[in-house]
Chain A
Amino acid sequence: MNFGLSEEQELLQDTVRRFLEEHWPAKKLRALFDGPSGHDADLWRGMAELGLLGLTVEEKAGGAGLELLDLALVAEVLGSFAAPGPFLGHSLATLALSWGGSEAQKDRWLPRLASGEALATFALLEAGGGWDPAEWGARLLSAGTGLRLSGQKIHVPAAEIADVFVVGVAGGGLALVERAGEGLCIEAIEGVDQTRRVCRVAFEGATADLLPGGNEAAPRVRDAGLVLLAADAFGGASRCVELAVEYAKNRVQFGVTIGHFQAVKHQLANMAVEIEPARSLYWYAAHAFDHLPAESQRHAALAKAHLTDRFMQIARDTVEVHGGIGFTWECDVQIWYKRAMFDRAFLGTPAVHRERAARLAGW
């Protein structure tokens, strides 16, 4: 029995961490957060060069053929740096193609998605609907030899720059829509998390292609997304604890740093106790995803619910430790606070997944 990372996995996290320390300083994060675009092409290219976009892609398509845990370990580091961009949607769309795509679809897209030459995203939620495959209403209609997609999706990450969309359709299947085709209308939504911007995408008879294994892949991709959000939340929450501890070691009041005061110390200790053990919960959920099929769905749900709730609360505590400055736009804590709001709501709130977990346990 071994519940630890391999040397390769530790090296992977170190590599991503060092890359972001060098290429993603706080100044750049701030500029992007305040700027018009939520995307940094240089950063994305760098991530592609490190092979992060093809981690789970099979080797013959140019990927590394690794597992969800490896991808989640990267998501953790990205969360800890509040790294911006299309990683989440791109990863989920890539997994959807890998699991549900035809050979032709895979041949056409996976090598380009793994190398970063093309960018993909994942469109699920509809206004008034839910994230669950059973709730999708977008309709596929035959038109001549092909298919046309009609429907509207909201909160689609990185839609403005995506080359290809994996879209949830009525009946729980998945369709592929290329940006180059007709009948696509993309409109930015003012989202809370400036590091992961979202759009409304209207498909008005857009040329579409069905993923033959889409119905089986869809819930699996959703679960992978839950694990990646849980990992992002762990990274973000852990960074919040570091920010709060750092501030408490430097901020002076009553002639001493506020880290001397037991009220502050205990708040910081509680924050650490809330998040540190949960590292192992997201690890387990990610490992179960590939190795323990009987447990994987329920663990993905519980991990997402638990970790994103912890992230939200810890981000709140971090604002509190910072006092007035923590409430300002200038203070970087708000960046993680809003990232926590995204992680918590995207793919369904904790309450939704706790109810699913209860059902899956036969309660």
Chain B
Amino acid sequence: MDLRYSREYEEYRREVREFLKGHWPPSGEAAQGSQAEQAARFRALAIQRGYVARSIPAAYGGSEQPPDVLKAVIIAEEFGRARAPADVRGIGASMLVPTLLEHGREDQKLRFIPPTIRGEMQWCQGYSEPGSGSDLASLKTRAELIDGEWVVNGQKIWTSGAQIAHYMFCLCRTEPGAPKHAGISYLLIDMKSPGVEVRPLRQMTGTADFNEVFLTNVRIPADHIVGKRGEGWTVSRSTLKHERNMIGDAAGSRVLFEGLVRLARETKRNGKRAIDDSDVRQQLAALEGYVLSHQYSGYRQLTLAARGKDAGIAGMMNKLTSTNIGHSVARLALDLLGDEGLLAPTNEARGIRLLPRGHAGWITQNMWSLGVAIAGGSANIQRNVIAERGLGLPRDFAAQREGSR
């Protein structure tokens, strides 16, 4: 065990810092144009240097670097500190691109990957339906091949970012006679196609970050399918695997916790600073036990990954641990706010800010902690996964009957 970086990595960190000092924030000619243009120019440079899009082959616009977890951590830390544009975030880069790399045709990779990792092409995910949440494979949206085109009819729900996305990767039933999981295909839908209607869904926070998407006789080219007909379930599983592989947000939990400590210093309880109250101190220290465990478990998982080993059950717990911490923070923050807990949430767009802004921001965090515990596989589904795959307990009756997964 050694928590220092070796000389090689310290040298690498220096290089990254040097690069950032020279190029971000941009100055002179590089500072011209819109923010988006400046970011795009910087990102192109960072790709050349091997700091961004590291896992993407050069043929598809990436920098094609050998995998190195520690370098990735250094880049994340240094780019974060400099607030420089790093890897494009969002569901396109994190889920669609890895899926295309694994299952896509050459022409699909060439067409969709480069603009996605440059941040020019936005994606949304067409999985959940009103009747198909945790039981996703029961989905009913149909696609029929008619005159060389897929004709799609159905409804998707909880579609984050559909209002701005250029494309949707979408699961549709294409083989109605086949068993549940074998009848699904993975299609790419241009959101500007006639028949696509996006209706915002307003959340309890008051903002509308996700949507319902109605698909009525939407026609898309026959070759906008990833993988073969009826193999969409397998293709989508690999997407979910990539989603789970995304490095846990332990660093986010840490930042949130430190914000909570600051809140305890600023607010009063019984006429003195809340942080001087023994009950508050106990609760903060108890919560910090979870936060540190989460953070160091992340270190351990990174080390295992660098050694080419599987993290096992620990790797299945990151999301649940993170959202459990989010719930605890929400509870304690509300206590600290006292009467300010009567305020409405602030109307910030994309409310999953790492650190709430102002006291009302903690009300927003309080509500978002519920949203993130449900999105991307609810807490109860996480518990199923941990119990079944991690602890080897028997599968759910219903899932067992259908022989799925």
Could you list which residues of chain A lie within 8 angstroms of chain B, going by C-beta atoms?
A: 1-6, 69, 241, 245, 248-249, 256-257, 259-260, 262, 265-266, 268-270, 272-273, 276-281, 283-284, 287, 291-292, 299, 302-303, 305-306, 309, 350-351, 354-355, 357-358, 363
| Any A CB within 8 A of the CB of B282 | yes
Stretch at the interface among B155-163, B216-224, B232-240, B378-386: B378-386
CA distance A351 to B297 in the complex (A): 24
29 contacts between A and B (CB under 8 A): A1-B6, A1-B70, A2-B1, A2-B3, A3-B1, A3-B296, A3-B299, A3-B302, A249-B392, A249-B393, A259-B394, A260-B393, A260-B394, A262-B384, A265-B388, A266-B383, A268-B387, A268-B393, A269-B386, A273-B320, A276-B297, A277-B293, A280-B296, A287-B3, A355-B278, A355-B281, A355-B282, A357-B288, A358-B281
| B333 at the A interface (CB under 8 A) | no
Q: What are the 5 A-B residue pairs with the smallest beta carbon separation, nearest first? A: A306-B289, A280-B296, A354-B285, A3-B299, A277-B297
Check A280 against B297 for contact (C-beta < 8 Å).
yes
Residues of A within 8 A of B304 (CB): 4
Docked pose: A299 CA to B281 CA in angstroms = 16
Do A276 and B317 have beta carbons less than 8 Å apart?
yes
Give Cα A1 to B299, complex, Å: 9
Q: Please give me the residue from chain B that is nearest to A359 by CB atom.
A: B281
B383–chain A nearest beta-carbon distance, Å: 4
Candidates B264, B306, B313; contact of A272 at CB < 8 Å: B313
A3 lies within 8 A of B391 (CB) = no
**List of B residues within 8 angstroms of A292 by Cβ:** 3
Closest residue on chain A to residue B304 by CB atoms = A4
Give the interface centre of A241, A248, A277, A284 by most chain B CB atoms within 10 Å. A277
CA distance A355 to B279 in the complex (A): 10
Query: Which residues of A lie under 8 Å from residue B380 when comparing CB positions?
Result: 266
Within 8 A of A (CB), among B302-327: 302-304, 306-307, 313-314, 317, 320-321, 324
Are B285 and A276 interface neighbours, CB within 8 A? no
In the complex, residue of chain B having the shortest beta-carbon distance to the beta carbon of A354 = B285
Contacts of A280 in B (CB 8 A): 293, 296-297, 299-300
Which B residues are in CB contact (< 8 Å) with A241?
A: 391
Q: A358 and B9 in contact (CB under 8 A), knowing A4-B1, A262-B384, A273-B321?
A: no
Q: Are A3 and B300 in contact (CB under 8 A)?
A: yes
Please determine whether A276 and B302 come into contact, CB atoms closer than 8 angstroms. no
| B1–A276 CB distance below 8 A | no
Tell me, in angstroms, the Cα distance from A91 to B47 when the chains sit together. 54
Contacts of B1-37 to chain A: CB distance below 8 A: 1-6, 9
Q: A265-B388, A273-B324 are in contact. Are A354 and B1 (CB under 8 A)?
A: no
Contact pick for B303, options A2, A257, A278, A305, CB 8 Å: A2
CB-nearest residue of chain B relative to A241? B391
CB distance from A174 to the nearest CB of B (A): 28
B390 to chain A, nearest CB (A): 7
Distance from A55 Cβ to chain B, minimum over Cβ atoms (Å): 16
| Chain B nearest Cβ from A358, distance in angstroms | 4
Give the docked Cα–Cα distance between A291 and B306 (Å): 22
Where chain A touches its partner, the secondary structure class is helix
Who on chain A is nearest to B400 by CB? A260
Residue of B nearest to A278 (CB): B293
With A and B bound together, what is the CA distance between A270 and B289 in angstroms?
A: 16
Given contacts A302-B292, A305-B285, A306-B290, contact A1 B5 (CB under 8 A): yes
Interfacial chain A residues near B286, Cβ < 8 Å: 305-306, 309, 350, 354
Q: Is the CB of B296 within 8 A of A257?
A: no
For residue B391, which residues in chain A have a CB less than 8 angstroms away from its CB?
241, 245, 268-269, 272
Q: By CB atoms of chain A within 10 A, which of B9, B282, B296, B300 has the most?
A: B296
B interface, size bucket: 35 or more
| Most B C-beta atoms less than 10 A away, residue of A6, A280, A287, A309 | A280
B284 at the interface (CB under 8 A from A): yes
Q: Does the CB pair A248–B393 fall under 8 Å?
A: yes
Which residue of A269, A287, A299, A302 contacts B383 across the interface (Cβ within 8 Å)?
A269
Instruction: Please report the C-alpha to C-alpha distance between residue A268 and residue B386 in the assembled complex, in whole angstroms.
Output: 9
* Set of chain A residues within 8 Å of B5, measured between Cβ atoms: 1
Q: Assess whether B330 is interfacial by the CB under 8 Å rule.
A: no
Q: Contacting A281 at CB < 8 Å: which of B296, B394, B397?
A: B296
Find chain B residues with CB under 8 A from A351 CB: 282
Q: Is B124 an interface residue (CB 8 A)?
A: no
Q: How far is the CA of A272 from the CA of B390 in the complex (A)?
A: 9
Please state if B317 and A277 are interface contacts (CB–CB under 8 Å): yes
Bound complex: CA A309 to CA B321 (Å)? 17
Report Cα–Cα, A257/B397, bound state, in Å: 12
Q: Does B261 contact A (CB under 8 A)?
A: yes
**Are A281 and B9 in contact, CB atoms less than 8 angstroms apart?**
no
CB-nearest residue of chain A to B324: A273
C-alpha spacing A306/B325, complex, angstroms:
14
Q: Would you give the shortest CB distance from B253 to chain A, in whole angstroms?
A: 11
- Separation of A306 and B261 alpha carbons in the complex (Å): 18
Chain A proximity of B282: nearest CB distance (Å): 5
A265 touches B324 (CB 8 A): no
B307 CB contacts on chain A under 8 angstroms: 4
- In the complex, A6 Cα to B392 Cα: how many Å? 28
Chain A CB within 8 A of B336 CB: no
In angstroms, Cα B324 to Cα A354, docked, is 20
CB distance from B239 to the nearest CB of A (A): 24
Starting from the known contacts A1-B9, A265-B387, 19 additional A-B residue pairs (CB-CB under 8 Å) come to: A1-B70, A2-B306, A4-B304, A69-B1, A241-B391, A245-B391, A249-B394, A266-B387, A277-B297, A279-B300, A279-B314, A284-B296, A287-B3, A306-B289, A306-B290, A354-B281, A363-B264, A363-B281, A363-B284
B297 partner residues in chain A, CB cutoff 8 A:
276-277, 279-280
CB distance from A274 to the nearest CB of B (A): 9
B396 close to chain A: CB less than 8 A: yes
Asked if residues A281 and B292 are in contact (CB atoms below 8 Å), the reply is yes
Contact check, B1 vs A281: say whether CB atoms are below 8 A apart.
Answer: no
Question: Would you call B1 and A302 a contact (CB within 8 A)?
Answer: no
A262 touches B396 (CB 8 A): yes
